[in-house]
A and B are shown apart, each in its own frame.
Chain A
Amino acid sequence: MKFNNWQILPLLAPLVAIMALMAVPATIAPIDADLSASGPVSAEAVDPPAVPDAGAVAYRAGDYQQAQTLWRAELDQLSGQASKGEQIGQLCYNLGNAAYRSKQGMQALAWYTAARRYLPRDEDLLANLKFVRGELALPPEHSSGLLATLSESLRSWTLPESKNMALVGVLLLLLALGYEALRGGKQGRTLALVGFSLCALLWLPFLRHTLAGDPPSHMVIAARGTNARSEPRPDAKSLLRLEPTATADRLDEWGEWTKLRAETGEEVWVTTKKVMPIRW
């Protein structure tokens, strides 16, 4: 039995159905994961803050400590909610400004670094980040060159954005491959190749996010760096020196000490006041 190619289109229906089935739980999954990570969320935590501009009012009045306290309280409420990414980014940015005005340059740098995860292309944030690094006499964050530029451009997309881009890539590929399957020929093969290329390009930011994993949780904010010790004691052996702005993952806490996994993979203890969380 022969039939027209367009009559094969209904065959795509199961494929679309499979994709839809996969999409539904996936849509729910990240939110579930975030909620479980942050524990039970009360009704208050989900509601928008009662006085959203209180921090800004204090900031405008020059009370930077109060501004930090208010914005930090808001941040603690929103922390861990994936759908509030942009607000978390704005709060971190504002906290960076307040920290800088309070003459806490390293803390400001840490807040801006935290904000960058959610606002990777925000011009104000990038300008302030560069400005504060200059004020602290820190070297430029990124070197020039093709690879550095490529890496920087891949970093400039948030995770939800990169997922959407990847999805667009899949849809374009679906169209291109559908045409190739039904029509074939040189035109179909060219279109399939273009589809694969576009899809690969659109998947790059998502792959970068997936392969790089979560960003480090803490940053060293001591202006001269800090000694990383083998145990949570001031007289314990210093295993290595963590430079200012070095990032690491938090593993544990003990009194005034925080256990970190350094970029070299070593597990070390540093005094808690010399590091700051940058993942919210």
Chain B
Amino acid sequence: MQRLKYMTKSALVRLLVLAFCAPTFAQNKVSVKASLSTGLANLGETVQLRITVENAKDARVLKLPIVEDLDVGSVGPAQRSSFTEYRGGVMVSRSSLRWVVPMVPTRVGEFDIPAIVVEVNGMPQKVQVTPPSLKVVKDMEGAQLGFLEVLDVPKRVFEGQPFPVRLRLGWAQRLQVTQAGLRLPWWGTQSGVLEVDGPGFAQRGKKIQELPVNDRIRVPFTQEKSVQIDGEPYHVFQNIRTLVATRSTDLEFPQSTLVFAEAVAGSGGMRRRQRMREYFATAEPFGVEVLPIPEEGRPFEWGGAVGTLKAERRLNARDVVAGETIQLDVTWSGMANIEFFDVPDLKRLSAFEGFRVLGHDDSHLGMERRVVYELVPLSSEVTEVPSVPLWYFNPESEAYELLETKPVPLRVAEGQGLDLGDAFGEETEGEKIDLRDVHGVGSEDTAGSPFGTKGLVGSLFATILGWLLLRKQVRKHGDPDSRERRRLRQADRKLRRDLAAAKDPRASSLALCHFLATQTGEESEAWVGRDALRWAQDQDSDAAVAAATELKQILRALDEAAYHSGSAPDRSSILKAANNFAKQVAA
């Protein structure tokens, strides 16, 4: 218990000392280092360039060493670490930035590593790499335990000629290889070549092993039969690529490396761990000379085919009626630039004049090009499908050669005439495949439009503007669709109808009275015998009196004509008087 009290007091005293003593911070000075992970490496092995900057606020790598035959990787993001400690009562703070840059030598020899440039706190500094040189030796053990070969590559090819690149690799069966990969600097980066679908290689029944290439993609390799090398069995894997040279040049393929590793037991007693033992096997660089296709002797019909080819043909029917469609299936195969040449256009061949060529369907798979031509024999005179010619450049004979399919005998029965409907799959009954006839050229002028563009646009706008003005003007006197206005319009129409139908002045008089009653909102009988002038005077309107005077004369004239055989006023004067009066009444 007493010991516990003592320890508590001691801790409190220490805390007080720390609290009352002014804390002193110290910052270590800036340092920059660059070092290689090793000064001696195997060919193909990855060597690490480690760059460390300590106690700097900010730093970045400006320049990496550039050394021939030494592939230097890119600078990734920096690893940051920092910590603080008390040392002799002083608080010491440390921080560091660290970059690791991979470097892979591609030849044996000694490489001098120049200084790198690092910007520290805004100031560029040259930093010497330690050790200043890297010695690269061939991994003799790796070369004994494994192998990598690039086979079947021709020394020279012609432009457009496909050529194989066979990669064959393996390692001793006694190794417990758990990791393997390839470093192929030319893979996918070689200019002047294109990779195409090759003839493929037999995979049936074989085990496929995918190996990483350049740490980027995984490529399938077939596991081949084991081989004995110096009495020792080896696992063997293989892959065949097909490349096409696109221009005349010297293609150079740098050294390729196979990296394979086995797990070995590490030292360290009970806590020992497995570590990887890496081996490196290399294949020498190789080159291909690409020659231009000779101009001499080049036929006009040559469509760019280069390689060795053979052709086969097949016809889907051999006994047809003129006008029916047949399919000619032509297949070209071989080690040639199958995808890239132009297939023969049968429409341009005089041998196919007896046919109408409707079109063709073009496809390729691996080293095989298949074209299905749709043909229509035009008459019973056609007795065969002629041969289809293809000019190609043969790199073996170094000459242009003509490859022709064999003609196919054909029996064509006379049809009912070839029509477009059959030929093109459309329903154009009775329409023959030929031009429609020429027309007679008349001399009559074409009827033009009375309006120009401006006139049309102007009339449209004038119509709309006129509508707006008219609308406004009409609505000054109220809504034309109101009940009252509709009633008055109906009365007007009825008066016109009644007057037209009236057979005597009496009927006209009654029609007028009915109209006037409608205008004044009374019964028709109210206006029979009424003195229009007096009625207007009662309304106390001078204009109404003037209109009523005219109306009174019309009414009187109608009465006289009805009862005293006088002459009746004409219909237009009745309408005029009635409308005048109605207008004044409405006002």
Contacts and interface: CB of A to CB of B under 8 A. Distances in A.
B439 A5 contact: no
A131 interface: yes
Given A87-B446, A186-B481, 15 more contacts: A3-B477, A5-B480, A19-B459, A22-B459, A23-B455, A55-B441, A90-B442, A123-B436, A124-B437, A163-B449, A163-B452, A166-B456, A167-B456, A183-B480, A184-B475
13 contacts: A2-B477, A22-B454, A22-B462, A26-B453, A86-B444, A127-B431, A164-B449, A166-B451, A167-B451, A167-B456, A182-B480, A183-B481, A188-B481
Interface stretch (A36-44, A172-180, A228-236): A172-180
A83 B435 contact: no
A264 interface: no
Contacts of B467: 177-178, 180-181
A45 to B, nearest CB: 13
Given A3-B583, A184-B481, A94 B438 contact: yes
B481 A26 contact: no
Given A2-B587, A90-B441, A94-B439, A26 B446 contact: no
A194 interface: no
A90 B451 contact: no
Interface magnitude class on chain B: 35 or more
Interface of A: 1-5, 8, 11-12, 15, 18-19, 22-23, 25-27, 29-31, 48-49, 52-53, 55-56, 59, 71, 74, 82-87, 90-91, 93-94, 97-98, 100-101, 118, 123-125, 127-128, 131-132, 134, 137, 159-160, 163-164, 166-167, 170, 173-174, 177-178, 180-186, 188, 199, 203, 206, 210
A224 B448 CA distance: 40
B459 A170 contact: yes
A23 B451 contact: yes
B463 A173 contact: yes
Contacts of B442: 86-87, 90
Contact of B445 (A83, A174, A178): A83
Interface in B482-530: 485, 489, 492
B486 to A, nearest CB: 9
A277 B542 CA distance: 79
A100 B435 CA distance: 9
B448 A48 contact: no
Given A52-B441, A53-B440, A177-B464, A131 B479 contact: no
Contacts of B420: 131
Contacts of B583: 2-4
Nearest to B360: A137
User: Taking chain A's interface residues, is the majority helix, strand, or loop, or is none over half, making it mixed?
Assistant: helix
Contacts of A87: 441-443, 446
The 3 closest A-B pairs by CB, nearest first: A26-B452, A26-B455, A163-B449
Which of A26, A52, A203 has the most chain B CB atoms inside 10 A of its CB?
A: A26
Nearest to B492: A4
A87 B446 CA distance: 8
Interface of B: 347, 359, 420, 424, 431, 433-456, 458-460, 462-464, 466-467, 469-471, 473-475, 477, 479-481, 485, 489, 492, 579, 583, 586-587
Which of A71, A170, A178, A180 has the most chain B CB atoms inside 10 A of its CB?
A: A170
Which of B420, B452, B471, B473 has the most chain A CB atoms inside 10 A of its CB?
A: B452
B587 A180 contact: no
B436 A127 contact: yes
Contacts of A210: 453
Contacts of A94: 438-439, 441
Nearest to A74: B441
A160 B446 contact: yes
A2 B478 CA distance: 10
Given A53-B440, A178-B470, A181-B471, A18 B462 contact: yes
A225 to B, nearest CB: 15
Which of B347, B449, B469 has the most chain A CB atoms inside 10 A of its CB?
A: B449
B449 A167 contact: yes
Nearest to B448: A160
A112 to B, nearest CB: 10
A15 B458 CA distance: 11
Contact of A11 (B473, B492, B587): B473
A23 B436 contact: no
Contacts of B473: 8, 11
A112 B441 CA distance: 15
Contacts of B459: 19, 22-23, 167, 170
Contacts of A27: 448, 450-452, 455
A173 B433 CA distance: 47
Contact of B446 (A53, A86, A93, A127): A86
Given A86-B446, A93-B439, A11 B470 contact: yes
A256 B140 CA distance: 73
Contacts of A55: 441
B446 A85 contact: yes
Contacts of A19: 455, 458-459, 462-463
B205 to A, nearest CB: 46
B492 A84 contact: no
